[in-house]
Structures are given as structure tokens and as C-alpha cells.
Structure 1
Amino acid sequence: MTLDLSHIDTWVFDLDDTLYPREQGVMGLVQARINAFMVDAVGLPADEAKVLQKQFLTEYGTSLAGLMANYAVDPAKFLREVHDVPLDSLEPNPRLADVLAGLPGRKFVLTNGARFHAARVMERIGITDLFDGVFAIEDMDLTPKPAPSTYRHFVERFAIDAHRAVFFEDTPRNLQPARSLGMATVLIGDGHGHEIGPWVDATAPDLLDFLTPYALKAAA
């Protein structure tokens, strides 16, 4: 699905399962760490802790936000333990690097993940030097997407004109506040079974395939 992005001068990307394919399994490893942390933090059996974790994700945006609202947890310990996963399954992507380099304007990452996790993932893919900034969960004061205040703080931090920006995300509801600010929105993947509402301007199964025509136009 093509989208008129001729006015865009700022390209914003979620990190996990957006800048790399979900099939590479990084978030599965993170999820396993989250499940283990939940068991220790809440004192429930693994199956009950997993149900509670999904409830937190739905109600609060992240497992950490739910834990902080209901239990005494150390957020720095959580971020360190759950994101310190091996990245052997994550493949370097020189084609993506070439396409990103061909897009006109600035590029940012907006992620509910930890800052050190974003740095590791981007370095592994080979795209670090192509981005003008990363806005991670620490920069959000631990208030994750889809909180509207997080998006406002993000655009203010980097002096972004939302009406000239496009946001790429794999979670549909995280696109809604971006659309409310005036950003164009693109859902990468199938939405994980969640509602894909009118705040989603376009969908694409693969980020690289979607971006390639825009990079070629920029280079022409």
C-alpha cells in the first residue's frame, strides 16, 4: 500500500518488531525475561503471572508500568534484566541501512524499550549512524506509549513538526496518539490481532519493502 509522503521531513520508527522482522525472535527472548521477573516480583505461579503481565500490558502500556503501579519494584533492575538478551538471531541488514540513508530528512527511534537495548539492536542491524536521536523509556520518565504526553514530549525534545512526520509501529494503538498530533501512520505487520482503526493510514507486512520506493524517489 503506497502513501503520499512527499511532505515528510521526519521519519519516526518503533524499534522492536518494526526495524527488524518479528520472526527474528528478539522480543520472544525479552518476553521470557519479563515472565521470569514477574514471577519473582508478584509471587505467583508462572501461568498466573503471565496472565497478570498481559493485563498490565493492556492497561498500562508496558509490564513495567503495571508493576510500578501495583508493586514495589526497581525499574532500573527490571530494564536491565529483561533487555539483556542475546542478539544472535538478529540479522545485520545492510539493505535497510541503504534505504534509510536514502530517505529525505531526519530519522528517530521512539521505543518503550530501554536505551541500552535500543543501542544494541541498532548497532547489530547496522543502522546506528543513520539516526538523529532515540527516545527510549527512560526519556519518557517511564510513561510508555501510548500515553499522549509521551508523544508530545518526544516532538518537543526534537523540535518535530508532527504534520511533516510519519510514524512506523507494529502495535496499532501506539499509532493513535501520533495520528492525533498530525503524523502520518504506518502499521508494520498484522497488528498482533488488535484493532486496526482509522488512525492507521497504511499497513505493510514488511518495513523494508514499504520504504524502498520512497528511498528510490529521494535518490532520483
Structure 2
Amino acid sequence: MPTKTSFPAEPSAKPAAPRGFSHIDSWIFDLDNTLYPPACDLFAQVDERMTAFIARYLGVDPVEARRIQKDFYIEHGTTLSGLMAVHGMEPKEFLDFVHDIDVSAVMADAGLGEAIARLPGRKIVFTNGSVAHAENVVRQLGIGHVFDGIFDIVTAQYEPKPRLRAYECLIEATGIEPARAAMFEDIARNLEVPHALGMTTVWVRPGLPGPERHQQLSHEGADGPHVHHVTDNLADFLKGIAPSAPAE
């Protein structure tokens, strides 16, 4: 079973030794609901705008648009991927529209920035969203300066996590060595491929799931061997593994 922070580990007859961090020199962070808490609820805005876009693009009512949206998310990894695969949609207008949101609910987090900055090696944001959206969020958090790059869905050739090809594109573009990388994610299934590639994985648990299937995907498989560590507080977790700042 994975080791867990903030709550006791469940007993296991054959506990698995989780991968550690002493060898890590590449730190890969998901963006939404990972670098900021789900309570900020930015996705509610994105969700509403996706429904509106689909209703207009396909000429359907909002109820049908939301059904299509969630079905595509479950079946294709992202709503965007479903629209591209099934309807041949060009992605730019969709990405620009759905990420045109108010990020003021996200509070600056200097402690998180300091914890990430102390990690040895490169730090990269890896998102199924756009670079523009990621830049807006990390700017609002006040931590944009600690990252060496942002790898988005466009750079991934529109291959979303959890698909293997998305991670292959990341590795090809950045030159990271998977066995020396750590991946932080709020969606447990997105850690399956990193685990298989040799990365150390951390599930940033996003609170209790809602009743609908798409709301439960973040938790599905979270007790599997691909989740090495679990935390409810990313900043505190990173402070526990980062080298101490040198004394002045």
C-alpha cells in the first residue's frame, strides 16, 4: 500500500516500499487542484464554459451539452480530446474560450513557492490545459518564478494525461530521465503511466469525490501500487522532503 501523510496507512499483508526522493532531479507538477486547493473551485468556471461552448458548437441544449462533455472526459481523458476525435474540432478556439476565467479565488502561496524552490533540479508544470491558463494560475499563486517551464496540451500534441503518448512527449521535449523524476497529481489514474515509466508518484488528494462518475475519477485506483505517496497538503509534504535552507 502507498505511504500516506495526514492520515494513517491502511494495514497490508505485503506492504510495498514506496519510491523515495533522494535521487530525484526533475519535479513534475500537475496544475489544477494540485498547485492550488480544490476549494478555489476554478473548474466550476471552466466546466460552465465547456458546456456553453459545446452547446453552441454542436447546436444542442445545455443538458445534452453537459452529458456529452462528461462522457468525453470519461472516455477520452479530456473533453477536448473527445471533441477532436469525434467531431474533428480545431482546438484553439475551445482552449481560449474555456480558460477565459477569473482566477482571483486562488490565494498567493509563498510557502508553496519556497518549498518548490528548495527542491534540487528542474521544476515543470504539466497540464492538460493551456500555457496561458497555467501562467494565469501560477502568477496568481505568486510562484511562477520557481518553475523552469510549462508543458501543456498543445506541446503534448493534444494527447492528454493519462495517455502514454502525453508522457512520452513530455520526456522527449524536456529530456528528463523518468527514473529520476517525481510526478504530483490530483487524479490518481494519471499516475499509472508515470509509475510504469519509473517515476516516483505523489497523489495530492482532492477531498471527497462527488456522486457522479466524472467526479469520482480523481479517486479511482488511488489505493493501487502506482500511487507511492499521498498528501492532503502539497506545501507541507514538499517541506518534509526538500533540503533545508542553508543557515545564514
Change (3 A) 1:110 1:127: same
Map 1:99-114 → 2, pairs under 5 A: 99-114=115-130
Question: With structure 2 as the length reference, what TM-score do the two structures score?
Answer: 0.84
| Residue of structure 2 aligned with 1:43, choices 59, 66, 83 | 59
Contact 2:30–2:185 under 8 Å retained in 1: yes
How many residues get paired?
Answer: 219
Partner of 1:188: 204
Secondary structure at the aligned position of 1:150 is classed as helix
| Percent of matched pairs sharing the same residue | 40
Contact 2:203–2:231 under 8 Å retained in 1: yes
Partner AA of 1:17 in structure 2: N
Q: Which runs of 4+ in 1 moved over 6 A?
A: none
Secondary structure at the aligned position of 1:192 is classed as coil
Question: With structure 1 as the length reference, what TM-score do the two structures score?
Answer: 0.94
Structure 2 runs not aligned, ≥5 long: 6-17, 207-216
What displacement does 1:42 show?
A: 2.2
Query: C-alpha offsets along residues 122-152 of structure 1, whole Å, 9 cap, x if unaligned?
Result: 1111111111111101101111111111111
- 114-123 or 69-78: which moved more? 69-78
* Greater C-alpha Rg: 2
| Residue of structure 2 aligned with 1:13, choices 20, 26, 29 | 29
Map 1:85-124 → 2, pairs under 5 A: 85-124=101-140
Contact 1:41–1:73 under 8 Å retained in 2: no
Map 1:1-220 → 2, pairs under 5 A: 1=4, 4-190=20-206, 192-196=218-222, 197-215=224-242, 217-219=243-245
More helix per residue:
1
Query: C-alpha offsets along residues 14-37 of structure 1, whole Å, 9 cap, x if unaligned?
Result: 000000001011111111111111
1: CA distance, partners of 2:198 / 2:112: 26
Question: What is the RMSD computed on CA atoms of the aligned residues?
Answer: 1.5
Partner AA of 2:132 in structure 1: F
What displacement does 1:192 show?
A: 3.4
Query: C-alpha offsets along residues 71-117 of structure 1, whole Å, 9 cap, x if unaligned?
Result: 24331100000001011111111111111111111100110001111
